[in-house]
Amino acid sequence: MKATTRISAARAFGQFRRDPLALFAQIADQPDGVALSSVAGRRLLFITHPDHVARVLRDNHRQYSKDAPVYRAARPFLGDGLTVAAGGEDWMRRRRLVQPAFHRDTLGAAAAIAVDCVGDLVTAWSEPARRNEVVDVAPAMTDLTMRISCRHLFGMDLTSGASEVAADLRMVCDFVVGFLARPFPPPGVPTRRNREFRAAMGRIRAFIGELVAHPATDLVAALDAEARSGGSTPEQVGDELLGLFFAGHETLAHTLTWCWSLLVTHPEVAERLHGEVTRVLSGRPASADDLPELSWTRAVVDEAMRLYPVVWIMMRRALGRDEIDGHEVRAGDLIAWSPYVGNRHPQVWRRPSEFLPERWHSAGDRGPDWARHSVAPFGLGPRACLGSGAAVMQACLILATLVQAYHLEPVGDGPPRPNPSLTLHAAGGFPARLRRR
């Protein structure tokens, strides 16, 4: 068994609070990219190589549970839905129940929803573009993906008639992200912010209860039938829908924001993207049938997800003994890794920190350790995200639609800084000047 580099708990915790991405980058420089520390008296093993992650998530997944601190911290807000549940037979039963909503046969409908919603944004941006105004892309992408997720999951559009629900959802999402970054004071302390959060959560739960009582999608109907048969409770149905909504819209919104930030700072890539979109679409709306021809668009999305994975940290708890690249794993150990660092591994990618969409079209920028699992933005193995196909498809169609209509120009001093809280988002948003094509 290999000797594992040890890092004191105080050093690891202090560095994690100051700059968690830098902590994982430092660990990547250790022998084998592995280090051992502790948290609350439990061994914590840091890993950084994609092969190590594949061992945990895919090759020996039965030995690892999602019952880990990063997910337990989210359960008071998201309940025990699929996105944060530890695992087991109940988790598998619920996954099978939700799976049809993300089947390949449903992608056409999901694409149509995305194209319809982004068409409204094209219209809304028309006047600001005419005046060459500066827009904040980050909240615009969040509003867009919230609409898409609500229509896809709930069958309801967050138009002006549902403005209160939309405001509550924004407030809750912002609160969760902020709290997990700085978990104080606890939600039970009656501060003004905490009271507003609890009130918003109460209204959202009531809103979801109405949706379940009058199902407008097959997903909601299936979850409602499960609850009526005694297989779950109305509260569990609410947890499931809230978790799916949060995970779906957050991932898509931030991925699109990172795409735009990279295109703005790489005009040659943006022009090639516009050329492809112009050739394929010729001014008409995009559809799922166009995806095979939008190969450069897909490469831009894939490269943005490699450089800025929205899920920047993952954890598992070992259920039994194991070995990762010769390093000992004991039952009860916590395993932590950062896709942000793993996706930039120099043995996997040449020029790993550069934005090079062309690397997805050839093997020229692959390193000796490259494998199919080297970038896994939606996870690996049986717990891989059910909505990955829909998310990538919608990202490509949204990007193609907006690029066809608008050009963004940089403002400020440089690209946004990544902020690793619950998800990896652009610190301070992403302002850019909007111009019509």
**Residue 93 domain flag:** no
The pLDDT value recorded for residue 375 is 95
Is 425 in contact with 417 (CB distance < 8 Å)? no
**Residue 88 domain flag:** no
User: pLDDT of 281-320, one tens digit each?
Assistant: 999 999 999 999 999 999 999 999 999 999 999 999 999 9
The pLDDT value recorded for residue 163 is 63
Own/partner contacts of 155-158, CB < 8 Å, gap of 24 or more, are 155/211, 155/215, 155/216, 155/217, 155/220, 156/211, 156/216
Q: Are strands 418-420 and 424-426 parallel, antiparallel or unpaired?
A: antiparallel
Split into its structural domains, the chain has a count of 1
**Residue 316 domain flag:** yes
The pLDDT value recorded for residue 248 is 86
With a cut of 70, which residues of the chain have pLDDT below it?
159-163, 177, 180-183
Range of the domain at 69: 1-78+312-376
CA distance 231 to 83: 19
The vertex-146 CA angle with 187 and 178, nearest 5°, equals 30
**Residue 366 domain flag:** yes
The pLDDT value recorded for residue 69 is 84
**Residue 66 domain flag:** yes
Closest CA to 300 of 266, 324, 328, 339: 266
184, amino acid identity: F
The pLDDT value recorded for residue 103 is 84
**Residue 235 domain flag:** no
**Residue 68 domain flag:** yes
Query: Is the backbone peptide bond immediately before 416 cis, with ω within 30 degrees of 0?
Result: no
pTM above 0.85, yes or no: yes
Own/partner contacts of 228-234, CB < 8 Å, gap of 24 or more, are 231/93, 232/94, 234/209
Give the per-residue SS3 of the chain.
Answer: CCCCEECCHHHHHHHHHHCHHHHHHHHHCCHHHEEEEEECCEEEEEECCHHHHHHHHHHCHHHEECCCHHHHCCHHHHCCCCCCCCCCHHHHHHHHHHHHHHCHHHHHHHHHHHHHHHHHHHHHCHHHHHCCCEEEHHHHHHHHHHHHHHHHHHCCCCCHHHHHHHHHHHHHHHHHHHHHHCCCCCCCCCCHHHHHHHHHHHHHHHHHHHHHHCCCCHHHHHHHHHHHCCCCCHHHHHHHHHHHHHHHHHHHHHHHHHHHHHHHHCHHHHHHHHHHHHHHHCCCCCCHHHHHHCHHHHHHHHHHHHHCCCCCCEEEEECCCEEECCEEECCCCEEEECHHHHCCCCCCECCCCCCCHHHHCCCCCECCCCCHHHCCCCCCHHHCCCCHHHHHHHHHHHHHHHHHHEEEEECCCCCCCEEECCCEEECCCCEEEEEEC
The pLDDT value recorded for residue 159 is 67
**Residue 212 domain flag:** no
Q: CATH number for the domain including 370?
A: 3.30.43.20
